[in-house]
C-alpha cells in the first residue's frame, strides 16, 4: 500500500498545527511548526481564506494524516461509521481510536502512531494473549494489549513509556506498566476524545 514517505514535519506545517508525527521532536524547539508556523511552499505565507469546500478538505486531510491513513482506508472507516447508529462523526473517531496501532501509541508503548504501526507489524504485541501484527485490528472493550515478553527491552518501547506522562493516558484506557500491559476499557465518548478536530466538516465533505 502506498504511503507518504516525505518529511512528516511538512505535513504538520501544511495543517499549521502539531500532528505529533515525530515523537519527542514535536515537544522540542526543533518542531517545524514552532519555527515556521505557516504552510510550506513558495506562497505559504500568502495563502488567502479557504472556501467551505477548502475547510472541509483541510479537516479531512488533517485527521487522515494524524492517524497515518491513506484515502481508501480513511473513506472505508467513514462509510462504516455512517452505517452505524448514532452520530456519524463520533462513530468515525471511535473507529479510528479502536485501531491497534493507535492504542499502542495511546498506551505509551510508542512515541508516534507511525512507530506504533511498525512495532505492531514486527510482532511485538499480544492482544488477549495472542500475537497480532495487523495495525488496523479493531479493539473491543475489555481487550488487553501487552508487549511480547522478549520485546520489553527494546529501546523504542522503554523510551516511549518513560515519556508517556507528558501525553497522559486517555480515560477509556487502563495501563499496568509493571506488566507492560494495557486494557481497552470502554469505547470513548466524544467529550473524552480531546482531539483538536471538527469531524462534522469531514461528514459534510463525504456527504456531497
List the chain domain ranges: 8-96, 100-184
CATH class for the domain made up of 8-96: mainly alpha
> Do 8-96 and 100-184 come out as alike in CATH topology?
no
pTM (2 d.p.):
0.82
Q: Quickly state the pLDDT bin for 167 (edges 50, 70, 90).
A: confident
Which CATH superfamily does the domain covering 100-184 fall into? RNA-binding S4 domain (3.10.290.10)
Distances (CA, A) of 103 to 15, 17, 130, 139, 170: 24, 22, 16, 8, 10
Q: Quickly state the pLDDT bin for 50 (edges 50, 70, 90).
A: confident
Mean pLDDT for 64-75 is: 92
Amino acid at each position: 500500500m502506498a504511503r507518504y514517505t516525505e518529511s512528516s514535519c511538512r505535513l504538520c506545517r501544511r495543517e499549521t498545527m502539531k500532528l505529533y508525527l515525530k515523537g519527542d521532536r514535536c515537544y522540542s524547539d526543533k518542531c517545524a511548526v514552532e519555527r515556521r508556523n505557516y504552510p510550506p511552499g513558495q506562497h505559504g505565507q500568502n495563502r488567502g481564506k479557504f472556501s467551505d469546500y477548502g475547510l472541509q478538505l483541510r479537516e479531512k486531510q488533517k485527521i487522515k494524516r494524524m492517524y497515518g491513513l491513506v484515502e481508501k482506508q480513511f473513506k472505508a472507516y467513514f462509510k462504516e461509521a455512517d452505517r452505524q447508529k448514532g452520530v456519524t462523526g463520533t462513530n468515525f473517531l471511535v473507529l479510528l481510536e479502536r485501531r491497534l496501532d493507535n492504542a499502542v501509541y495511546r498506551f505509551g508503548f510508542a512515541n508516534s502512531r507511525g512507530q506504533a504501526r511498525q512495532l505492531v507489524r514486527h510482532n511485538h504485541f499480544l492482544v488477549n494473549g495472542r500475537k497480532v501484527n495487523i495495525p488496523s485490528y479493531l479493539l473491543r472493550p475489555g481487550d488487553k494489549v501487552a508487549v511480547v515478553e522478549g520485546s520489553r527491552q527494546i529501546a523504542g518501547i522503554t523510551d516511549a513509556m518513560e515519556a508517556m506522562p507528558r501525553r497522559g493516558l486517555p480515560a477509556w484506557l487502563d495501563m499496568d506498566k509493571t506488566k507492560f500491559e494495557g486494557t481497552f476499557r470502554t469505547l470513548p465518548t466524544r467529550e473524552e476524545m480531546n482531539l483538536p478536530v471538527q469531524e462534522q466538516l469531514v461528514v459534510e465533505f463525504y456527504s456531497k
